[in-house]
Structure 1
Amino acid sequence: MRARLGDTVIAEADEGDLIRIEGNWYFPPDSVAWHLLTESPTPYTCPWKGRCQYYTVDGHADNAFAYPDPLPSAIDRVGRDFSGYVAFWQDVQVGD
């Protein structure tokens, strides 16, 4: 699967390596083109996953997010450790 912003591929991994949480595909950290992302100062804490880190993607504010250190109960709930996995939204298209 790929995450694209226009013609730019931001992340690419086999679907089996991704984790689906609440309708979002989370890509493993090593599959992300980190040079296209910059940390955003936007604060957010999910009640069940913990502190979220937003990223600006190639100039598009807050189009990616990750949970660097999810709550242990969140990992139990998801069934896999998703620490640092990155999900995308808004202008980013995720698919094959």
Structure 2
Amino acid sequence: MRVQIRDAATNDMLADAVDGQVQKVEGNWYIVPEAVNAARLEMTAHKYTCPYKGTCSYVDAVAANGTRTPRVAWVYEHPMAGWEHIKGRYGFYAGEAAQKMGKTIVDET
């Protein structure tokens, strides 16, 4: 399997992951840092606390020309017990959720 995620506003590649680098958790893609385009992703100060996974930081996509697409991804640096498998991975919406949010284009092959 291969999952590619692009910024819907700029078409920049944000992640390109294959088996072993990506896992689907609760309907979302969680991708290892090595498979994301770190040059186009910027951690923000915005946080969200999930009652069972813990606190995540949101990530913006930033194009070379400075165009910013807010909250395209999130990262749980210190997830709660039972969620260690998503630690440090970049979470991206998948399927219908990605379409509804309209921030990313997800190709799954």
Assess if the C-alpha contact under 8 Å between 2:32 and 2:88 holds in 1.
Answer: yes
- SS of equivalent residue, structure 1 residue 56: strand
1:86 equivalenced with 2:95 (yes/no):
no
Structure 2 counterpart of 1:27, one-letter code: I
Q: Deviations over 1:4-36 (max 9, x none)?
A: 114211111114431111110111111011111
| Aligned residue among 58, 61, 67 for 2:70 | 61
Work out the CA distance in 1 between the residues paired with 2:82 and 2:91. 19
Q: Percent identity over the alignment?
A: 29
The match for 1:22 is: 26
Structure 1 counterpart of 2:59, one-letter code: Y
Q: Deviations over 1:44-77 (max 9, x none)?
A: 11111111010111211111111112112223xx
1:43 equivalenced with 2:47 (yes/no):
yes
CA RMSD, Structure 1 to Structure 2 (Å):
1.5
The match for 1:73 is: 82
TM-score w.r.t. structure 2 length? 0.74
Assess if the C-alpha contact under 8 Å between 2:33 and 2:88 holds in 1.
Answer: yes
Work out the CA distance in 1 between the residues paired with 2:53 and 2:38. 22
Work out the CA distance in 2 between the residues paired with 1:16 and 1:68. 19
TM-score w.r.t. structure 1 length? 0.83
More displaced stretch, 24-33 vs 14-23 = 14-23
